[in-house]
Amino acid sequence: MPFSTRRFFLQQGAVAGGLLALGSRSLAAVSANEQVNLGVIGLGWRGGDLLSAFSDVKGVKIAGICDVDSALVDQRSKEHPEAKTFNDLRAMLDDPDIDAVAVATCNHWHCLAAVWALQAGKHVYVEKPLANAHWEGQQVVKAAARYGKICQIGTQQRSAPMQAEIKSLLHHEKIIGPIEWVRVNRFGLRPSIGKRETPLEPPKTVDYNMWLGPAQDQPIYRDKFHYDWHWDWNTGAGEMGNWGVHLIDDVRNNIFRDEVAFPNRVVAAGGRFAWHDAGNTPNIHFAILDTGTIPVVIGLSNIAADADNKAQPTCPGPGSGYIAFCEGGRLDGQRCNAKFFDNAGKVIKNIAGTDGMVVHQQNFIDAIRNNSPGSLNAPVEVGHHSSAWCNFANYAYRAAGEHVQHSVSDFDFNFGIGLGAGKILEELNQLVAVHEKKYPREGLQLGPVLTFDSQAEKFTGEHAEAANKFLRVPGRKEFVVPEV
């Protein structure tokens, strides 16, 4: 295959220091005023958002569009008639006129697409989560460094100016005092994805082998082909890897100022309730992350507060955001807004902002033009770390399948936040109880305490084996993430 051959020579050329001798536009630096030719890989809902955002960045040309679904390619080509069209991303990566790519594929493709693109001399904007399997994220980080390319993660809120104001008020002015602990919320409704009696046939317009890529070839029993892959471990990472990455990234940015790469310990509980569907990721998920300093507790729910599946569940603070509990009050943070409260519940500062779209894409393009990876608001290392926090919560939940705890008292964490964590568990259990009569299930599945070695980037100690098996997946045929 041409790309495979070309990639081999690129790798050898990089090692030999002769990369620029190849003379490709995509391997040369882009000058400050030069047009950047962008290819977008993955043309679904998120790909459409990126096409729109990058089109609003001056000096960017949408030069290529790619998707394994020819129907999506046809649709987007009407919107961007000047763009070259591709069904195989390897053909796009072989195109010397493409300077950079934006990866908006299914989660399971993010790392392989990013590594291949970096090896082909392209700059990369890759959507979150960076990885479902932690080891794969490591390879993207290494590839960006090895091939000297700009690599930005798609947590666009990093580029919203309001984040800098939050950090200043919280850490420099300390208007509500020292931070004691953090609660993360994602309480939002999602419908059942259904459960078929016979496997779903992929649309005729989809190259199914390419769609699978690194994922295993397993029968699909959900009703819809697109998007609902999020709720299947083979291709997605559940709500923790979907919205959870945005929320955790905010916490890592604003609360920890990126000073904590990985949590030291994690424990999780959860399950899939209210529906008998084909999903296997939890729609109720609870996790405690021990950072060594400020503890973080996460509560996620996708089920309704009533048996008719209509009522939006509620929780303290923002339904999609975080609460920093401090000695002198609290901070409620969410996309586009943050509020500081004193201990009496009075708002003492209200900050309004944006979601960071367009500004974030502009930041990526500016870094390319200036050859300045240090100017990125969300460099790939940041994406690797924020994705890891969510992945660890997923691994801790999945490890419970082999090592189930029997009561909440098994959470042996001396955090001093027992009441707060217990309240989140109570809220989640109440949601489960609403649906018990119609869909009886066992209670929350509680996992073991997992310990993570940040230097080795592996779990250690008791139950390590149950978690480490999720760090790396085997891949499939030619679709294996290479070790960099």
391 vs 35: CA distance, rounded Å: 37
pLDDT in tens, 113-168: 999 999 999 999 999 999 999 999 999 999 999 999 999 999 999 999 999 999 99
Q: Answer yes or no: is pLDDT of 361 > 50.
A: yes
In this prediction, residues 417-422 reach a mean pLDDT of: 77
345 contact partners, CB below 8 Å, separation of at least 6: none
Instruction: For tokens 């609460």, name the residue.
Output: 323
Residue 369 lies in a domain: no
Residue 474 lies in a domain: no
Q: pLDDT at position 436, please?
A: 83
Phi-psi region of 480 (alpha: psi -120 to 50; beta: other; left: phi over 0): beta
Residue 303 lies in a domain: yes
Q: pLDDT at position 445, please?
A: 74
90 vs 447: CA distance, rounded Å: 40
Q: 352 and 361 in contact (C-beta within 8 Å)?
A: no
214 vs 8: CA distance, rounded Å: 20
**C-alpha closest to that of 188 among 284, 280, 252:** 284
Which domain-ending residue is among 132, 158, 184? 158
Q: 391 and 132 in contact (C-beta within 8 Å)?
A: yes
End-to-end CA distance of the chain: 21
Residue 278, phi then psi, degrees to nearest 5? -85, -5
* Token reading at 189: 């409704």
Q: Answer yes or no: is pLDDT of 414 > 60.
A: no
The domain total for the chain is: 2
Q: Answer yes or no: is pLDDT of 9 > 60.
A: no
Residue 67, phi then psi, degrees to nearest 5? -160, 150
Neighbours of 372 (CB within 10 A): 11
In this prediction, residues 359-370 reach a mean pLDDT of: 97
Q: Answer yes or no: is pLDDT of 21 > 70.
A: no
Q: pLDDT at position 27, please?
A: 41
- Read off the CATH number of the domain in which 274 is found: 3.30.360.10
Q: Answer yes or no: is pLDDT of 194 > 90.
A: yes
Structural domain including 434 reads 162-355+381-468
Residue 212 lies in a domain: yes
* Token reading at 437: 């009569």
Residue 263 lies in a domain: yes
Instruction: For tokens 């045929």, name the residue.
Output: 477
Give the pLDDT band (50/70/90) at residue 404. low
Residue 92, phi then psi, degrees to nearest 5? -65, -45
Q: Answer yes or no: is pLDDT of 13 > 50.
A: no
For residues 313 and 386, state if they share a domain: yes
Is 348 exposed, middle or buried (CB count within 10 Å of its CB: 0-12, 13-18, 19+)?
A: middle
**C-alpha closest to that of 191 among 271, 321, 279:** 279
For residues 172 and 141, state if they share a domain: no
Q: Answer yes or no: is pLDDT of 372 > 60.
A: yes
For residues 458 and 312, state if they share a domain: yes
* Token reading at 185: 């919320």
In this prediction, residues 450-458 reach a mean pLDDT of: 95
- Read off the CATH number of the domain in which 43 is found: 3.40.50.720
**C-alpha closest to that of 264 among 298, 223, 294:** 294
Residue 372 lies in a domain: no
For residues 73 and 148, state if they share a domain: yes
Residue 367 lies in a domain: no
For residues 285 and 215, state if they share a domain: yes
For residues 107 and 186, state if they share a domain: no
In this prediction, residues 22-26 reach a mean pLDDT of: 39
For residues 166 and 138, state if they share a domain: no
Q: pLDDT at position 417, please?
A: 63
Residue 82, phi then psi, degrees to nearest 5? -85, -10
For residues 151 and 169, state if they share a domain: no
- In the chain, the percentage of residues whose pLDDT exceeds 90 is 81
For residues 114 and 100, state if they share a domain: yes
**C-alpha closest to that of 212 among 106, 132, 135:** 106
pLDDT in tens, 52-100: 999 999 999 999 999 999 999 999 999 999 999 999 999 999 999 999 9
66 vs 76: CA distance, rounded Å: 9
In this prediction, residues 387-397 reach a mean pLDDT of: 97
- Let me know the angle formed at the C-alpha of 241 by 465 and 350, rounded to the nearest 5 degrees: 130
Neighbours of 187 (CB within 10 A): 21
Q: Answer yes or no: is pLDDT of 284 > 70.
A: yes
Q: pLDDT at position 17, please?
A: 32
Residue 275 lies in a domain: yes
Q: pLDDT at position 23, please?
A: 35
Most confident of 31-40, 275-284, 413-422: 275-284
299 vs 425: CA distance, rounded Å: 8
For residues 213 and 265, state if they share a domain: yes
For residues 346 and 214, state if they share a domain: yes
Least confident of 133-142, 304-313, 361-370: 304-313
For residues 234 and 181, state if they share a domain: yes
